[in-house]
Structure 1
Amino acid sequence: MAKVVIGVDGGTTAVKAVAFDLSGNIVASHKEGVPVEYGKGGEAEQDMTLIWEGVAACLKGVADALPAGTQVVSIGLTGQGDGCWLVGTDGRPVRKAAIWLDGRAPERVAQWLEDGKADAVLEVTGTTTFPGLAPVLLAEFAETEPESLANAGWLAYCKDWLRYNLTGVIATDYTEASRNFLDVRTVGGYSAELAEKLGLSDAFRLVPEIRPAHGDGGTLTAAAAAKTGLPEGTPVGIGQIDVAVTGAGLGAVEDGQGWLILGTTGFVGALLGSVAERRTDVSMVLATGQGTQVLEFLPPMTGTPNLDWIRDTLGLSDKEWDEIEKQARTVPAGSGGVIYLPYASPGGERAPFLDTNASASWLGMSITTSPAEILRSVYEGVAFSLVECVRTLELTGDLIVSGGGFRSDLVCQILADATGQTVVRQDAPEAGARGAAVYALVTAGEAADLTSAAGMLASDLTSFAPDPENLAIYQKTFDVYVASREAVRPVWPAMRALRSASQGE
Structure 2
Amino acid sequence: MSEVIIGVDGGTTAVKAVAFTLDGEIYATHHESVPVNYGPNGEAEQDMNLIWQAVATCLKSVNDQLDGHEVVGIGLTGQGDGVWLVDEAGEPIRPAANWMDGRAGERVAAWSKDGKDAKVLEVTGTSLFSGLFPVLLEELRENEPEVMARAATQLYCKDWLRFKLTGERATDFSEASRTLLDVRDASGYSEELAKALNLSDALPLLPEVRHPAGKPSPLSEEAAAQTGIPAGTPVGVGQIDVAVTGAGLGAVEDGATWLILGTTGFVGTLLPSVAERKSDLSMVLATGNDAQVLEFMAPMTGTPNLDWIRKMLGLEEADWDDIEAGARKAGPGSHGVIYLPYAAPGGERAPFLDAAASASWQGMSLTTEREDILRSVYEGVAFSLVECIETLEVTDDLLVSGGGFRSDLICEILADTTGLTVVRQDAPEAGARGAAVLALVSAGRYGTIPEAAEALGASTQTFEPNPDNHDLYREAYQLFLDTRGALRPVWPTMRALRKSAN
Give me the TM-score of the superposition, normalised by structure 1.
0.99
Residue 16 in 1 paired to residue 16 in 2? yes
Give the CA deviation at 1:7. Answer: 0.2
Q: Distance in 1 between matches of 2:141 and 2:379?
A: 41
What is the CA-CA distance between 1:34 and the residue it aligns to?
0.6
> 2:249 — aligned with what?
250
1:501 corresponds to which residue? 500
Q: Structure 1 residue runs of 4+, over 6 Å off?
A: none
* Matches of 1:16 and 1:192, distance apart in 2: 36
Deviations 1:152-205 (A, max 9, x none): 111110000000111111100000000010000011111011011111111111
State the shift of 1:149 in Å: 3.0
Q: Deviations over 1:289-342 (max 9, x none)?
A: 000000000000001111111111112121101111111111221110111111
Gapped regions of structure 1 (runs ≥ 5): none
CA distance in 2, matches of 1:208, 1:148: 20
Counterparts of 1:456 and 1:430 in 2: how far apart (Å)?
16
- Report the counterpart of residue 371 of structure 2 in structure 1: 372
> Which residue does the alignment assign to 2:353?
354
Q: Which residue of 2 aligns with 1:475?
A: 474
Are the counterparts in 1 of residues 286 and 294 from structure 2 also a CA contact under 8 Å?
A: yes
Q: What is the correspondence of 1:238-317 to structure 2 with a 5 Å cutoff? A: 238-317=237-316
Q: Structure 2 CA distance, aligned partners of 1:96 and 1:217?
A: 28
Q: Equivalents in 2 of 1:499, 1:225: separation in Å?
A: 47
- Partner residue, 2:65: 65
Does residue 1:385 correspond to 2:384, yes or no? yes
Q: Does the aligned pair in 2 maintain the 1:81–1:157 contact within 8 Å?
A: yes
Rounded Cα–Cα distance in structure 1 between residues aligned with 2:409 and 2:206: 43
The answer to whether the aligner puts 1:458 opposite 2:457 as a matched pair is yes
Shift of 1:91: 1.0
8 Å Cα contact 1:217-1:237 kept in structure 2: yes
Deviation, structure 1 residue 41: 1.2
Matches of 1:41 and 1:316 in 2, distance apart?
28
Q: How many angstroms does 1:96 deviate by?
A: 0.7
Residue by residue over 1:3-30, the C-alpha shift from the partner in whole angstroms, topping out at 9 and shown as x without a partner, is 1000000000010000000000001111
Report matched runs for 1:54-453 at 5 Å.
54-68=54-68, 70-453=69-452
What CA distance in whole angstroms lies between the structure 2 residues aligned with 1:43 and 1:461?
Answer: 39
Two-structure CA RMSD over aligned residues (Å): 0.7
Answer yes or no: is the 8 Å Cα contact 1:149–1:203 preserved in 2: no
Amino acid in the other structure paired with 1:279: K
Aligned 8 A contact 1:8 1:76 in 2: yes
Counterpart-to-counterpart distance in 2, 1:238 and 1:480: 44
1:332-358, CA deviations, whole angstroms, 9 ceiling, x for partnerless residues?
211101111110111100000000000
Q: What CA distance in whole angstroms lies between the structure 1 residues aligned with 2:501 and 2:200?
A: 39
Conserved? CA contact 1:163–1:217, under 8 Å: no
Distance 2:363 2:305 in 1: 18
Deviations 1:388-426 (CA, angstroms, capped at 9, x unpaired) = 000000111210000000000001001001100010000
CA distance in 2, matches of 1:256, 1:182: 23
Which amino acid in the other structure matches residue 128 of structure 1?
A: S
- Counterpart Cα distance in 1 of 2:65 and 2:170: 30
Aligned partner of residue 149 in structure 2, secondary structure: helix
Number of residue pairs aligned between Structure 1 and Structure 2:
502
What percentage of residue pairs aligned between the two structures are identical? 66
For 2:17 and 2:208, locate their aligned partners in 1 and report how far apart those are by CA, in whole Å. Answer: 25
1:29-85: CA deviations, max 9, x gaps?
1101111111111111101000110000000001100012x1111100000000000
CA deviations over 1:437-487 (Å, ceiling 9, x no partner): 000000011111000000011001010000101111111111111011000
Q: Which amino acid aligns with 1:234?
A: T
Asked if 2 retains the 8 angstrom alpha-carbon contact of 1:298 and 1:351, the reply is yes
For residue 216 of structure 1, report the CA deviation from its aligned partner: 2.1
User: How far off is 1:142 after superposition?
Assistant: 2.0
Local SS of the residue matching 1:349 = coil
Q: Distance in 2 between matches of 1:217 and 1:147?
A: 36
Q: Which amino acid aligns with 2:366?
A: I
Q: Distance in 1 between matches of 2:289 and 2:455?
A: 20
- Number of the residue aligned with 1:6: 6
SS at match of 2:471: helix
Q: Secondary structure at the match of 2:210?
A: coil
Q: For residue 339 of structure 2, give the secondary structure of its aligned residue in structure 1.
A: strand
**How far has the Cα of 1:502 moved from its partner?**
2.2
1:216 counterpart SS class: coil
Deviation readout 1:101-140 (Å, 9 max, x if unpaired)? 1011111100000000010000000000101001011111
8 A contact 2:216–2:443 mirrored in 1: no
352-361 or 140-149, which deviates more: 140-149
